[in-house]
Amino acid sequence: MRQNHALAFPRRRARARKNRGRVADQPQPTPTELLREILYQVGETHLDTGHTEIVHRLNGRLYDNFSLGKTTLVIIDEGQLLADDALFEEIRLLLNFQLNDAFLITLLLIGQPELGERIRNLPQFDDRLSARGLLRPLERREVGAYIDHRMSVAGRSEAAFSPEAVELISQYSGGIPRRLNHICDLCLVLSYSRRVEWVDEEMAYRIILDEEDSRV
């Protein structure tokens, strides 16, 4: 892990300071569109300007946030879809927004494993990362806890899936969260259509069979 001047995952600042988070999820923007989106997300409304003016306004907004004790966090999801190397160069240049030794912006790139491969082929960008991580598949015991947590966040305190259903879902999904979410959503729709409050093994098995049939 490198500890250079770039930020890929958030670094902590003083705990007393409030954080401001923004998400940029436009899949394939141009460099100027990316900057314009970030500028919009941090509160700027006058966006009909050229690249240089956008950079100046963005720097001003970031400085204002910093002066107010706020950390500006920009999350770029589906980073593997950033096809143009110029986008990574633009992101790298954003890391030059500093005040003395303090960064004015924190960048968090999220994507599929191919994002890591892409970054490794861009050494100037790769060298600026301060941290990186790979989300491994969940283990069986973690799958049950993950499902229970998601249901709790949605407002349900009691278990919604039988242990046998969780076992099937864990095996079929391979512990990958996006697959877990998809299968569980389908199971919950089926349980709703049957007017039952419990996803059992038979229901999970039926959903998995339907998923397999749809792949043929």
79-115 per-position pLDDT tens digit? 888 888 999 999 999 888 988 888 899 989 998 889 9
pTM metric for this prediction: 0.68
| Domain 19-126 class in CATH | alpha beta
To the nearest whole number, what is the mean pLDDT of the chain? 84
CA separation for the pair 108, 143 (Å, rounded): 25
Q: For position 153, what pLDDT does the model report?
A: 93
Task: Enumerate residues 6+ apart whose C-beta is below 8 A from 69.
Answer: 14, 16, 17, 18
CATH 3.40.50.300 domain extents, the chain: 19-126
| Domain 140-215 class in CATH | mainly alpha
Please count the other Cβ atoms lying within 10 Å of the Cβ belonging to residue 187: 23
| CB environment 8-21: b (16+ within 10 A), e (fewer) | bebeeeeeeeeebe
CATH 1.10.8 domain extents, the chain: 140-215
CA separation for the pair 50, 3 (Å, rounded): 34
